[in-house]
Amino acid sequence: MSKVFISYSHDSAEHSERVLRFANALRSHGVDAELDRYQVRPPKGWPHWCEEQLRPENSDFVLMVCTETYLQRVQDKVPADEGRGVFWEGAIIYDHLYDGKGNKRFIPVLFSDGKPDFIPVAIRNHTRYQVAAFDLTDAGYQDLYRELTGQPLVTKPPLGEVVNLGRTLAGKIQPLEPRPVRTNFPVVAAEFQADLSRILKYAPAQLIGREAETKLLHDAWAGIRHPASGIGHPPSRPHLLTFAALGGEGKTSLVAKWAAELAGQDWPGCDAAFVWSFYSQGTREQLAASSDLFLKEALTFFGDAADKAFAASSAGAFEKGQRLARLVGQRRSLLLLDGLEPLQYAPTAPTPGELKGLGRRQPRPVRRHHPVFAPGLEGVLADHRVGERIEAPIRRSWCRAAAFFQNRAGRKAGQDSRNAKRI
């Protein structure tokens, strides 16, 4: 049996009688309702009696009959000599709500003429009941009675046992009809792009005396074996072609002319072309003698927004080189590196020809990733040969060729180039 205390305000004699009928109806339906009018004079006084009735051990529920007067007295918005009992009860109710960090006992009740705005703020968003008649046929009274007596409108069914799906559904499920699955999707070709701005201005209108070298370039790009150079390019292998000669002998002009001819042919078999120069043509000033700027610009050219952000990051040259290799390998690309000598040690150095920016340890893993450039072509133009320590991994993994310019003026460089071993 639930024990219920009814908190209300003496708005008028009529309202007090309605609250009494409400309490009597609850008691007639088996709810132990308590009301101040059932008492003559509590031995310990009304304040103490009210506090006792509000304790959880004495009342399972507290029904707050909310009217406009009840709200004003709880909020102490009446003269000092009015509503002291309701104000006292409201203060105690607020303390219980605060200490309990929630509301399981205090239920706002509105009679037929009541409004939700009459409910104190502390419980305004909790479940309320609008009671029009004190009879179980009244929807509001019945819902309240269900809560007070623990009789929900819908009874939860008992919990069954866990079903073994394998045993229960065996033989009941029809297998799905086989359907063709498309696993290969067409590759959308990337938009062609080229940047030859760094050497195109050095392309002569006519190039005389470099027919063999020009044919070498064309054959290397086409992947045709050239008898004089020993170039043999399987279709899926990366290609490296190196031209080494003294400054001013026309390496840049040769490659610029060849690239211009490819552009005039609408870049046959080429998806992207990028040229980088590591020094200023015609001067001794080395404006870009570092791999850092090259890696940044190349990643920006070949990559997307994420690659551009990576290019501007503090990542090392090795990591950026790996990423660039993967990007270039996604397409048939032409990569021309002009003027590599600012990055090389001089021929008279202890490690002649080796690259300064990459060191001795990094070229090996970098070169191991270079095959993803296939089936493009990388061209290197330098005043002297790339060092043997750098060449070693190239010889193992690259289809390669080296062309050494013949100095037709008979200088010693020409004699050296004829005696030089092919890379």
> Residue 157 falls within a domain, yes or no?
no
Domain final residue, candidates 81, 116, 149: 149
> Which residues lie across from 244 on neighbouring strands?
382, 404
Give the structural domain span for 292.
193-419
Residues 325 and 402 occupy one common structural domain:
yes
Give the count of domains, the chain: 2
Among the three residues 125, 149, 173, which one is the final residue of a domain in this structure? 149
Residues 124 and 251 in one domain: no
Residues 104 and 217 in one domain: no
Residue 175 is assigned to a structural domain of this protein: no
Contact 67, 114 (CB under 8 A): yes
Q: Which residue has the tokens 């009814």?
A: 6
Asked if residue 50 is part of any domain, the answer here is yes
Q: Is the pLDDT of residue 152 over 90?
A: yes
Q: Is the pLDDT of residue 52 over 80?
A: yes
Please check whether residues 199 and 325 belong to one and the same domain.
yes
Query: Higher pLDDT residue, 56 or 338?
Result: 56
Say if residue 141 is in the same domain as residue 63. Answer: yes
Query: Residue 39 pLDDT more than 50?
Result: yes
Cβ burial 8-22 (10 Å sphere, 16+ → b, else e): bbbbeeebeebbeeb
- C-alpha distance across the termini of the chain, in Å: 101
Same domain, 299 and 215: yes
What pLDDT shows up at residue 47? 92
Least-confidence region, from 26-40, 91-105, 260-274: 260-274
**pLDDT tens sequence across 94-126:** 999 989 888 989 999 999 999 999 999 999 989
Are the beta carbons of 357 and 333 closer than 8 angstroms? Answer: no
On whether both 238 and 362 belong to a single domain, the answer is yes
Residue in 382, 196, 423 with CA at minimum distance from that of residue 289: 382
Between CA 111 and CA 371 the distance in angstroms is 85
Rounded to an integer, the average pLDDT of 125-135 is: 94
For residue 229, being part of any structural domain is answered with: yes
Residue ranges of alpha helices (H) inside 161-289 are 165-168, 211-222, 251-264
Q: What is the pLDDT of residues 234-244, one digit of tens each?
A: 444 556 777 77
| Mean pLDDT of the 41-60 span | 93
Residue 163 lies in a domain: no
User: 270 and 327: one domain?
Assistant: yes
Instruction: Assess whether 145 and 197 both reside in one domain.
Output: no
Higher pLDDT, 413 or 14: 14
Of 149, 179, 209, which residue constitutes the final position of a domain? 149
Q: Can you give the CATH number for the domain in which 132 is found?
A: 3.40.50.10140
In a domain, 176, yes or no: no
Residue 280's pLDDT is 54
Residue 280, SS3? Answer: coil
Say which residue, 191 or 309, is predicted with more confidence: 309
Whole-number pLDDT of residue 178: 73
Q: What CATH number corresponds to the domain at position 415?
A: 3.40.50.300
* Mean per-residue pLDDT of the chain: 75
**Same domain, residue pair 139 and 217:** no
pLDDT band at residue 282 under the 50/70/90 scheme: very low
Is position 127 within any domain?
yes
- What is the arithmetic mean of pLDDT over 74-86? 84
pLDDT at 357: 53
